[in-house]
A and B are shown apart, each in its own frame.
Chain A
Amino acid sequence: MVMQLQTEHELHGRRRSRNVGLGIVLIAFVALVFALTVVKVTQGHLLEAYDHQPRTTLLPMEPEAAAPAAEAAR
């Protein structure tokens, strides 16, 4: 008995399109998260993550504010 199986069916094309599409989306997502991490680490080091407000403890001290603080330390 002959069993005819079409090696390349239109169905395979559809499945390939899904697999390739999903692969591209996943790779793009990984690249995006990596780039995001780089930008956050290099640009956002003075920001707190939860509300993006400047983190006062990390901001450089103003000269006027620094003087009394130095006075008090002496």
Chain B
Amino acid sequence: MTDINAADANAYHAAAPEAEFRDYVALLKPRVMSLVVFTAFVGLWIAPVDVHPFLAFCAVLFIALGGGASGALNMWYDADIDAVMKRTQLRPIPSGRVEPGEALAVGLALSGLAVMMLGLVANWFAAAFLAFTIFFYAVVYTMWLKRWTPQNIVIGGAAGAFPPMIGWACATGGISIESLLMFALIFFWTPPHFWALALFMKDDYKDAGVPMLTVTHGRAVTRRHIFAYTLVLAGFSIWLGLTSVGGPVYLAVALVLNAAFIRGGWQVLRREEGAARADGFATEKRVFRLSLSYLFLHFLALLIQNWMGTW
């Protein structure tokens, strides 16, 4: 007969730790979800059709849940890469707290639930759009582009850019130039944002074998791409300000933010690799932080402009 004691139990559970509830929440990538929530909310709120506040809340909730579900599917498929990269080693699957099969089940179940509920809350066009977004992120980006092409971030960025269009579709039942420009704003913002990150997380992607631009084409090319994208991005940002959702406040905010982001992109472009290493990639880190504020403040400005009255 075997004695069971506390030491044995501790040793067993240290080898196979069980998940807490927060580990399942972590599967849904809450930080990415916050971007989805905010941009979807703005898209829904500034649309020219009134939506009952509770229905708007539910719509944003289920868009966020769909985004979270695609995050769980991403973590399921990318568990091997996540185990190699320092930034992602503590995620629930590589750390052994959640089984890959559990993450897949959570991702699929929540995807179905989110799409069905969004269809019931808002309309089936928005629900189909959400289903396509989940498919795009989980299959097109995660399974196909991410490990195959250095353009992974560029094309895959579309998945993160769809939420304001889905929010707009919840209210209007369709798409328009305004929602397309909100999409373009996030779509062209994503590459410089992630490439700035890749410049200072330099070995992570290389070790994991992910063909980031820094790995396949070198750091100088990445710096040129960052600057070029800040210029293209500025065009779409200003164009959005000239549509029916724009106005003087948004336009002023957009001009200031784009001037700062282009300046940051220029500084990244002009940096010598040695100087960047010497100061611990201070400029690259600053541009990365600026990119976070850039997107948040653009959508906040849209919200404020809507409250103050548009053109």
Q: Residues on A close to B: CB < 8 A?
A: 1-6, 9-11, 14-15, 17-18, 20-22, 32, 35-36, 39-40, 43-44, 49-53
Contact = CB atoms under 8 A, between A and B. Distances in A.
Contacts of B278: none
A36 B122 CA distance: 11
Interface string B1-45: 101111001100100011111101100000000000000000000
B220 interface: no
B173 A52 contact: yes
A22 B54 contact: no
A10 to B, nearest CB: 7
A46 to B, nearest CB: 13
Q: How large is the interface on B (under 10, 10 to 19, 20 to 34, 35 or more residues)?
A: 20 to 34
B19 A18 contact: yes
A4 B21 contact: no
A39 B120 CA distance: 12
A50 B119 CA distance: 8
Chain B binding surface, main DSSP class: helix
A36 B58 contact: yes
Contacts of B25: 21
Given A1-B1, A3-B3, A35 B9 contact: no
Please provide the 7 A-B residue pairs with the shortest distance between their CB atoms, ordered closest to farther. Answer: A21-B21, A4-B5, A6-B6, A17-B20, A17-B21, A14-B18, A14-B20
Given A14-B18, A40-B55, 11 more contacts: A1-B3, A2-B3, A4-B4, A6-B6, A10-B13, A14-B19, A14-B20, A17-B22, A36-B121, A44-B52, A51-B123
Contact of A22 (B3, B18, B21, B124): B21
Contacts of B18: 11, 14-15
B4 A9 contact: no
B19 A9 contact: no
Contact of B54 (A6, A39, A50): A39
A52 B51 CA distance: 11
A20 B192 CA distance: 41
A39 B58 CA distance: 11
Contact of B13 (A9, A22, A49): A9
Nearest to A38: B54
Interface string B140-179: 0000000000000000000000000000000001000000
B172 to A, nearest CB: 9
A9 B9 contact: yes
Nearest to A6: B6
A57 B251 CA distance: 44
B250 to A, nearest CB: 28
Interface in B106-137: 120-125
B104 to A, nearest CB: 18
A44 B121 CA distance: 11
B4 A35 contact: no
